[in-house]
Amino acid sequence: MPHTRDITALPILDLSLLDGTPAQRQGFLDDLRHAARDVGFFYLTGHGIDSRLLKQVQDCARQFFSLPDSEKAAVGMINSPHFRGYNRAASEITRGKPDLREQFDLGAEREALPQDKDSPYWTRLQGPNQWPRALPQLKPLLLDWQHAMTGMSLRLLRAFAQALSLPQDAFDQLYGDKPNEHIKLIRYPGRGADESNQGVGAHKDSGFLSFLLQDHQAGLQVEIEEGRWIDALPRDNTLVVNIGELLELATNGYLRATVHRVLSPPKGGERLSIAFFLGAQLDAVVPLYPLPPALLHEARGPASDPDNPLFRDVGWNYLKGRLRSHPDVAQRYYADALIPNTLSA
């Protein structure tokens, strides 16, 4: 294991090596385990997602953000109890401060679950997306990309299981047939001289795995050790991957969910990124997986924030994060869940 002070850039992993020789495959699994434990972030090449599709998604995202404000407001997240839709810059909150980014969130296209007085609050999270009428091509394109990303990310998740000497299907029960597939289109405007540089405040991701497609503007930073940040600079046709808190929890901290942030671009610039988050299905409960003794000895325990504790119940954990990040949506649709201690019930 390298000392954190020796890490100055994210490691680069080639997913296509899973289809290589036995030696190449094992080398990839070893590199995957080390990258996920020592850094919690890495670049992924050989992912198999068509570069033309990646460009189409970026181009269409730019078209969305270029729509008139009235068109974007028509699909505002405030209209959705499922936390789907558009937010203008400074609407989402991280660690109590607004993030200077506008964004469009969507998930798997599923029907809302029936509700009664005994339904857990988190069951309200499932439901349909909102789509802008002025950009009809966005829906089929993003759903195609979501399908491609889900297939690739589940393949990578199974590789994680093997890298930890677990059965290949060890995590399958958690994502089941309804994984939590979350896409976020994000535009960071250039900041003014008197504005905060918080594009996104320092945080960890929930879920299993996060994937980020960047344009050519830098801004993403990873906290390798307390107070020391390195840049995750953009690379063509390459995804940035990081570990979510669910994998950290499931492996007793062997895999690392790493704090990261995004700095706003300078005045006159902008930054576009497309994020895909793979999470467990909402009704899953995260177990503690039995790692081999050698790996268990290196596990550090999950680093839970006392002000933002982790729940093994996936639906509750995901809802908690949504309520904190989007207080306006929380107040409109979840006022009954905002009673002190309700979420810990």
Supply 31's token pair.
Answer: 């590199």
Q: Largest Cα–Cα distance in the chain?
A: 58
Q: What is the DSSP letter of 184?
A: E
Phi, psi at 67, each rounded to 5°: -65, 155
CA dihedral 249, 296, 241, 64 (to 10 degrees): -10
Other C-beta atoms closer than 10 Å to the C-beta of 17 total 20
Q: Which value, in Å, is the radius of gyration of the alpha carbons in the chain? A: 19
Query: By percentage, how much of the chain surpasses pLDDT 70?
Result: 94
DSSP string, 204-215: ---SSEEEEEE-
CATH number of 13-344: 2.60.120.330
Nearest to 158 by CA among 173, 147, 168, 148: 168
| pLDDT of 344 | 45
How do the domains of the chain map onto residue ranges? 13-344
Q: Read off the pLDDT of residues 26-46 as tens digits, 9 standing for 90 and up.
A: 999 999 999 999 999 999 999
Residues 6+ apart with CB under 8 A from 266: 190, 191
Q: What is the DSSP letter of 86?
A: E
Which residue spans within the chain are E strands per DSSP?
Answer: 12-14, 41-45, 85-87, 93-94, 97-98, 102-107, 180-189, 198-203, 209-214, 220-225, 228-231, 239-243, 260-263, 270-279
Separation between Cα atoms, residue 125 and residue 82, nearest integer Å? 4
Q: Which band of pLDDT confidence, cut at 50, 70 and 90, is reported for residue 71?
A: very high
Q: Read off the pLDDT of residues 258-313 as tens digits, 9 standing for 90 and up.
A: 999 999 999 889 999 999 999 999 999 999 999 999 998 888 877 655 455 566 88
pLDDT at 112 over 90: yes
pLDDT at 192 over 80: no
Higher-confidence residue of 180 and 340: namely 180
Q: Read off the pLDDT of residues 199-243 as tens digits, 9 standing for 90 and up.
A: 999 999 988 899 999 999 999 999 999 899 999 999 999 999 999
